[in-house]
Amino acid sequence: MTQAPTLQDLPRLYALVPCAGIGERAGVSGPKQYAVLAGRTLVAHTLTALAQVKRLTQTLVVLSPQDREFETHAAGFTGWVARAGGATRAQTVANGLIELASRGARAGDWVLVHDAARCLVRAEWIDALIDACIADEVGGLLAVPLADTLKAERDGRCVSTIDRHAKWQAQTPQMFRWQTLRDALAAAAYVTDEASAVEALGLAPRLVPCSMENFKITWPQDFALAERLLRTRP
């Protein structure tokens, strides 16, 4: 007779927040994750949302080895911190996976990688991702179907229109098993998100619809929009 799995046998869920970037495009002095919106830093908003997801075993923030500011800008954070960031986002995430393993993460555990600069994320969106992917063989990501017409550009002018059918805008968190993500990043030459590395293994991550509010603060004008959205939330 097969025994039912115990709580110790069930896969655990970890959040991994790469936070080693310098935010060159954001137009702010210093790393953009430490810019203040609605009275708190971007990363503080992000970590507060993750803390509200009860199924997460722990959250790991991966910082640049030279970062000496995080504790000042994320007061009250009780998760794990590793100053192990790499030269690229992919390397920072890969180093974070090693750190999770050193703290007890197993090959079959889930890792939810989330951008520090997606500070408008909501706990209910993360829970929806978990619900959609927890029994999936591959995993998946939050995303939004593209609504706008897409243009290809050359020298500041449109040169063609790109078919937007069946195209989505990737967001985070992106949720994959520790071993899958480790293998994918080890094999990837260059990727801008975890899902593209997993796709390169021949796997098809699940797309989980989310809100356009879950955008990544990238450009100077993004700060004003995020500020308005944060201040009008209940």
Q: Is residue 6 part of a domain?
A: no
What tens digit of pLDDT does each residue of 173-232 get? 999 999 999 999 999 888 999 999 999 999 999 999 999 999 999 988 999 999 999 988
> Is there a domain that residue 30 lies in?
yes
User: Where in the sequence is the domain holding 66, given as residue range(s)?
Assistant: 13-231
The verdict on residue 186 lying in a domain is yes
In a domain, 1, yes or no: no
pLDDT digits (tens, 9 = 90+) for 121-167: 999 999 999 999 999 999 999 999 998 899 999 999 999 998 888 89
Residue 80 C-alpha from the chain's centroid: 16
* Cα–Cα distance measured from residue 9 to residue 108, given in angstroms and rounded to the nearest whole number: 10
SS3 170: strand
- pLDDT score at 5: 54
Answer yes or no: is 179 within a domain. yes
